Copies of this chain bind each other. A is one copy, B any other.
């Protein structure tokens, strides 16, 4: 019953053997019932020549579907190995406009123009060119042109006749869009309503006018928040004067949500490229090195800073005991603060206009946490009978460092966001390293003060 497929090593080995023997029937038999997403996964486990052979055996429509499911590097590899006339007339022509625009958007200008000019379906090519004109981070960049629309002045019979013509191009129909004579969106009609209504009713008496739509230039983050908030599976996109331009479906948005969550997670973990655990060693190394180098540079600067205070450390070597504690707390607090801001900006619960009240709140949280930790360390140092100067230095420094790291961790992502830079860049090693440095500077300065006084 279920076509769901579990990939295993035996399957890959068997398929590889059949491919090496060029046993077309056996290969086709193995993959005939598989979903394009599964074939794409299989492709990534084959070597270059085997993959190319497998791809050549797929029918045009299946090949187009698999191509969309591949990741960008594999897709470019496949496209390079095929003649451009075949790509244009046998692959791009079978894709939905939004997928085609995504695929073409990854290519060089020359290659893209060459493919577009070789497409047989000129109307389809025109739609793709329209979509390519939108910024990919807007509703226009997410939407597809394929949709079903009826005129509000038609009746059910006429509508169903017209829908039959339009439906060939559309895979999944969730809603029928209703427009007026000027193509301005007036409402939606659920298929359920259409199915259950009398055949002679007029559309304008059936449609639901209270609908949610976005404009072509609405940012994609807002699109995903709206679809999530209102539990929508499809969202119509209109132009500046309200004419229906396209529709966005939930699967594109789910992909976007996953990608954004993975990227934010990797940034806070100090990984600079989108990687998967099955990627090659070299790619995994390259993705991790940049942040380690940031940390290394920070560490070298810290070592210079400690050099400045070397005389103090020589006289009061016990100061060194709590350096890691101060640095680690500064780092932890900074990451906590910045992550809350990054998440709040992503799900739009933080309004930029409220920077001051945000900082005040963070200041209160830091005050409470700072007091708690400072008192705990005070108790500890009194219990283990540490020197008084050290005891006072550690607790005062801890308190100050927590305040500083909270505000710094809050301000940097807010500032980046104002400058239109991705605020998630503020999390991870950057904040940690800066806070290490500032934390130790504060620690030694306060230490000098107390050891001088007492």
Tell yes or no: A19 within 8 A of B by CB: no
**Known contacts A233-B251, A258-B228, A276-B349; is-contact A163 B299 (Cβ 8 Å):** no
A314 CA to B322 CA, complexed, in Å: 15
Q: Tell whether A141 is near chain B: CB-to-CB under 8 Å.
A: no
Chain B residue with the shortest CB-CB distance to A282: B368
Say whether B325 contacts A324, CB under 8 Å: no
Inside 8 A of A292's CB, which chain B residues have their CB?
329, 332-333, 336, 369, 373
Scoring A173, A212, A332 by chain B CB atoms within 10 A of each residue's CB, the highest score goes to A332
Which of A83-91, A110-118, A127-135, A427-435 contacts the other chain?
A427-435
Given contacts A303-B324, A317-B310, A328-B327, is CB(A254)–CB(B276) below 8 Å? no
Check if B310 sits within 8 Å of A325, measured CB to CB: no
Tell me if A416 counts as interface (CB < 8 A to partner B). no
Chain B CB within 8 A of A356 CB: no
CB contacts (< 8 Å) of A108 on chain B: these are: none
Q: Is B325 a contact of A323 with CB atoms below 8 Å?
A: no
A265 within 8 A of B: yes
- Beta-carbon nearest neighbor of A233 in chain B: B233
Flag if B365 contacts A226 (CB, 8 Å). Answer: no
Name A191's closest neighbour in chain B (CB-CB).
B191
> Could you tell me if A2 and B160 are in contact, using CB atoms closer than 8 angstroms?
no
Contact between chains at A335 and B269 (CB < 8 Å): yes
Residue of B nearest to A304 (CB): B321
Q: Which of A167, A281, A341 has the most CB of B within 10 A?
A: A281
Query: What CA separation (Å) do A39 and B402 show in the bound complex?
Result: 38
User: Does A380 belong to the interface (CB within 8 Å)?
Assistant: yes
Partner of A339, one of B4, B230, B265, B340: B265
* Interface hits, A212-251 → B, CB 8 Å: 212-214, 226, 228-231, 233, 238, 242, 250-251
Contact A195:B160 (CB < 8 A) given known A37-B229, A328-B327: yes
Q: Is A454 an interface residue (CB 8 A)?
A: no
A2 and B336: CB pair below 8 A?
no
Give the shortest distance, in Å, between A169 (CB) and chain B (any CB). 12
Query: With A4-B212, A277-B358, A349-B277 as given contacts, are A270 and B376 in contact (CB-CB < 8 Å)?
Result: no
The reply to whether the CB of A31 lies closer than 8 angstroms to some CB of chain B is no
Is A285 located at the chain interface by the 8 A CB criterion?
yes
A46: CB under 8 A from chain B?
no
Report if A289-B440 is in contact (Cβ < 8 Å); known contacts: A195-B163, A349-B276: no
Q: Is A196 an interface residue (CB 8 A)?
A: yes
A436 close to B (CB within 8 Å)? yes
Find out whether the CB atom of B327 lies under 8 angstroms from the CB atom of A303.
Answer: no
Interface string of A274-307 (1 = CB under 8 A from B): 0111100110110011011101101110110011
Judging by beta carbons under 8 Å apart, are B3 and A212 in contact?
yes
Closest to A321 in B: B303
- Sample of 11 A–B contacts (CB below 8 Å): A1-B185, A2-B213, A4-B226, A35-B212, A37-B230, A160-B195, A270-B336, A276-B347, A292-B329, A292-B332, A306-B320
Given known contacts A296-B329, A307-B321, what 18 new A-B pairs fall within 8 Å (CB)?
Answer: A163-B195, A167-B192, A174-B174, A191-B192, A228-B254, A228-B258, A276-B344, A276-B347, A277-B349, A288-B365, A289-B372, A298-B325, A299-B326, A302-B324, A323-B324, A324-B327, A324-B440, A332-B432
When A and B form their complex, which 6 residue pairs have the shortest distance between CB atoms, in order from nearest?
A299-B325, A277-B344, A269-B339, A261-B261, A303-B321, A231-B251
